[in-house]
Structure 1
């Protein structure tokens, strides 16, 4: 496909960004334990600079592409899908980036394959090379994922026989299936919601957070979102039963997707069906799907209790930050209530999320798809744990049904901040690493400025 000149420039700039990300990740990524560099390794330092150099290039390419999407001759969804494929290509064979969660997925899949109770025992019980790759914090923690994902991870473990390179490729392939499904359903959701399909694809599929955390990080959130989007498309197409089944399967990957069942019910009511009949279709379908999927996975119903899986004590969710601050103040004054501060704030956060979700659905003016996106964003924001990729829960559907340009601009700002918030190794930030990251980003800004000057205000600028 021959792309317009300006679109080709965005494609090349984004490709340079993801190529730099992949190359830098070879020494600065979430590498297997045997390949981890020494703290003072110069190659790791250069890799970190390269990763943040690539990050800034990718964000710049995405923002410029957004200008084209808003321009007089916007690219077609097909052209945007080609750009997405080109941008993602260098990341396919890169090491895991920005998180070590993929190693936990592999260990948990091996545990299910070995008939261990993955909801009661942590990867330490498995032992061996796979367990060694899991971060120490999660060695003794049960899996917080549903039976659908664990069944897929178990099948992958059996297929790859516990071999790490093959397992990593398999998990990335599974994540790519989720991303492909997201990209497939976004234009359809946008059309049903009265939004621009091209803008929805740009914001929801070509988003840097998708490339960084769903493709490079291989997070299972892509499978959850792909199934959720497919379920909503089915429900919008007046097929509520398959819609309820697909949304339930999404929730059996990660629990937040269960809110999608409310959208399935509302969509039936809006099409003229009586609320009682809508519930009578959706609830039995969800229950039957849950029973069948849990029985097929063979994991039992421990996933219900696993929803209370503890979070990292250093998590930067709002409720965790307030809990730690309150606990520190109480401890300073010698109060016995200090240990209760963190769980109390977590409860407040969950209550706030429930209140926000109730308020969103009570008003329901934006439409079910947008309301669901706002609800998932509230759950991510007020929950006891937050990671940059959690923002995609709500962002994916907000992209499909955003009612105005101002909403998209806010999403762009949030994306840019979160894209820079995590080290490629998935570890904690120290002063030296922060300086290297800033150096890489600053170098990219200089390169972009020089290219802009050399081009003499390129055509991209005229599309703004």
Structure 2
């Protein structure tokens, strides 16, 4: 007799994920990306214990999410409203806590304060700002120019202006900005999925309830949330045959982070499909480019940041990042040194350029090959190729492709690789954002093993479905 309960009931999947984010928030008070010299909560002064609790919760969250995906294929799948409520419950414990898994939010705050103070963030780094905000920025980025576009810098400057030098109010402000992007994804992902012939519930589960979004866009307050929200909004308008505002929105997304510029490709294709004549592709491409350039010029003039963001696109990638091409470059350098071919050091840039060239070839094939996927689907694959072969890789970068593919890939193959990959990527970065030493790794593994033991015990509970709570509407789709 199959065991039900936690394993199959959407409500208990929701409860499991909430327990996970609650434990993650508690553990993060001691082991998160905290301000320098600060510790909070009941585990204050015990970062390794906090790390154990955080990883216990992290594994519970991933398990609850995967179980929820399984429930979507069951006889009573949760509806879109139920999934949105699940997202809200899972996100709630993370909203008031410290940043997790990255210290980028401190760089955002410092750069916003620089813009508000009249400093050119495309020439100066946070070290030139000084003060409490700059002290929180990792050393590797202290002298680096901002790699972000004027749209995000204007938002960060607005937050810095309202919150002043206070670190915690600034974090909450930037988290609210990120939540605006998440809200756009919640609202528009089902519309994009329906337009692409994909089940809206499945798209919400993979693209929005994804643990990577909760960990890095909500808890980490990454500006990728704004980029993806604007990008999906532009795609929806393009599919609804409103190409002018669609191109403007996608350009705004690219003026947050540059990779969103690939979103102009499906817009041009969809626009060309509405035109007639031999030169319709050229005309659509020219019109899309004209709208993009006009939007970029208007936004740059309005924000007053200047065109330094074009030059800052080559802001150096941190030497220790773990992209595929960087790893191959380091391995090549080590091999060359071992063979006595020189001190090494030149292979990493070469491999990064080769990776970018490979990504460009993949994009070219997706858009010009004989068996071209649908435009939005091709965009998702293009973004995934850029993440995999690009010069830098962070877990939340995977959302660039996954958020689009979740709504555009009609077959189940995408979910078969995207869901496990998301679960694995959710586990590879410590809540502090720093590389682990042996004791930290041991604490994280111990927390994960405890969670697996708890999950194993739950599966041995007697069968039978628990009484459904009032949160689920009787006789219909759960709320």
Q: Normalization by structure 2: what TM-score?
A: 0.92
Structure 1 residue corresponding to 2:394, chosen from 387, 397, 412 = 387
The residue that corresponds to 1:100 in the other structure is: 103
Structure 1 segment 18-33 matched on structure 2, within 5 A? 18-33=21-36
Cα distance in 1 for residues equivalent to 2:464 and 2:102: 38
The residue that corresponds to 1:319 in the other structure is: 325
Deviation at 1:341? 1.2
Cα distance in 1 for residues equivalent to 2:39 and 2:26: 15
Cα distance in 2 for residues equivalent to 1:458 and 1:355: 52
Cα distance in 2 for residues equivalent to 1:449 and 1:230: 41
Unpaired runs of 5+ residues, structure 2, are: 1-7, 467-479
1:195 paired to 2:198: yes
The residue that corresponds to 1:208 in the other structure is: 211
Unpaired runs of 5+ residues, structure 1, are: 460-464
Question: Does the 8 Å CA contact 1:452/1:458 hold for their aligned counterparts?
Answer: no
Q: Deviations over 1:54-95 (max 9, x none)?
A: 111101110111011112222111111111111101100010
Would you tell me which structure has more helix in proportion to its own residues? Answer: 1
The residue that corresponds to 2:477 in the other structure is: none
Greater displacement, 159-168 / 332-341: 332-341
Cα distance in 2 for residues equivalent to 1:271 and 1:441: 52
Deviation at 1:331? 2.9
Deviation at 1:275? 1.8
1:266 paired to 2:269: yes
The residue that corresponds to 1:290 in the other structure is: 296
Secondary structure of 1:33 counterpart: coil
Deviation at 1:405? 1.7
1:13 paired to 2:52: no
Cα distance in 1 for residues equivalent to 2:343 and 2:296: 40
Question: Does the 8 Å CA contact 1:121/1:140 hold for their aligned counterparts?
Answer: yes
The residue that corresponds to 1:376 in the other structure is: 383
Structure 1 residue corresponding to 2:446, chosen from 439, 446, 454 = 439
Greater displacement, 356-365 / 236-245: 356-365
Question: Does the 8 Å CA contact 2:29/2:44 hold for their aligned counterparts?
Answer: no
Question: Does the 8 Å CA contact 2:30/2:44 hold for their aligned counterparts?
Answer: no
Structure 1 residue corresponding to 2:49, chosen from 30, 46, 50 = 46
Structure 1 segment 125-204 matched on structure 2, within 5 A? 125-204=128-207
Structure 1 residue corresponding to 2:455, chosen from 419, 433, 448 = 448
Cα distance in 2 for residues equivalent to 1:36 and 1:94: 12
Q: Deviations over 1:196-223 (max 9, x none)?
A: 1100000000000000000011000000
The residue that corresponds to 1:462 in the other structure is: none
Cα distance in 1 for residues equivalent to 2:337 and 2:13: 53
Question: Does the 8 Å CA contact 2:28/2:54 hold for their aligned counterparts?
Answer: yes
The residue that corresponds to 2:431 in the other structure is: 424
1:300 paired to 2:303: no
Q: Pick closer, same or farther for the CA change 1:457–1:391 going to 2, 3 Å.
A: farther
Deviation at 1:272? 4.3
Question: Does the 8 Å CA contact 1:366/1:403 hold for their aligned counterparts?
Answer: no
Structure 1 segment 234-273 matched on structure 2, within 5 A? 234-272=237-275
The residue that corresponds to 1:277 in the other structure is: 283
Cα distance in 1 for residues equivalent to 2:325 and 2:413: 28
Q: How many residues align?
A: 454
Deviation at 1:270? 2.8
Deviation at 1:329? 2.3
Q: Deviations over 1:125-179 (max 9, x none)?
A: 0000000000011101111000100011011111111211110000000011111
1:353 paired to 2:368: no
The residue that corresponds to 2:79 in the other structure is: 76
Cα distance in 2 for residues equivalent to 1:202 and 1:238: 27
Q: Pick closer, same or farther for the CA change 1:455–1:130 going to 2, 3 Å.
A: farther
Superposed CA RMSD in Å reads 1.8
The residue that corresponds to 1:412 in the other structure is: 419
Greater displacement, 336-345 / 283-292: 336-345
Question: Does the 8 Å CA contact 2:29/2:39 hold for their aligned counterparts?
Answer: no
Structure 1 residue corresponding to 2:90, chosen from 84, 87, 90 = 87
Cα distance in 2 for residues equivalent to 1:146 and 1:455: 55
Question: Does the 8 Å CA contact 1:240/1:281 hold for their aligned counterparts?
Answer: no
Cα distance in 2 for residues equivalent to 1:356 and 1:280: 23
Cα distance in 2 for residues equivalent to 1:421 and 1:313: 18
Cα distance in 1 for residues equivalent to 2:124 and 2:39: 27
Cα distance in 2 for residues equivalent to 1:42 and 1:100: 20
Cα distance in 2 for residues equivalent to 1:276 and 1:305: 28
Question: Does the 8 Å CA contact 1:80/1:201 hold for their aligned counterparts?
Answer: yes
Greater displacement, 191-200 / 5-14: 5-14
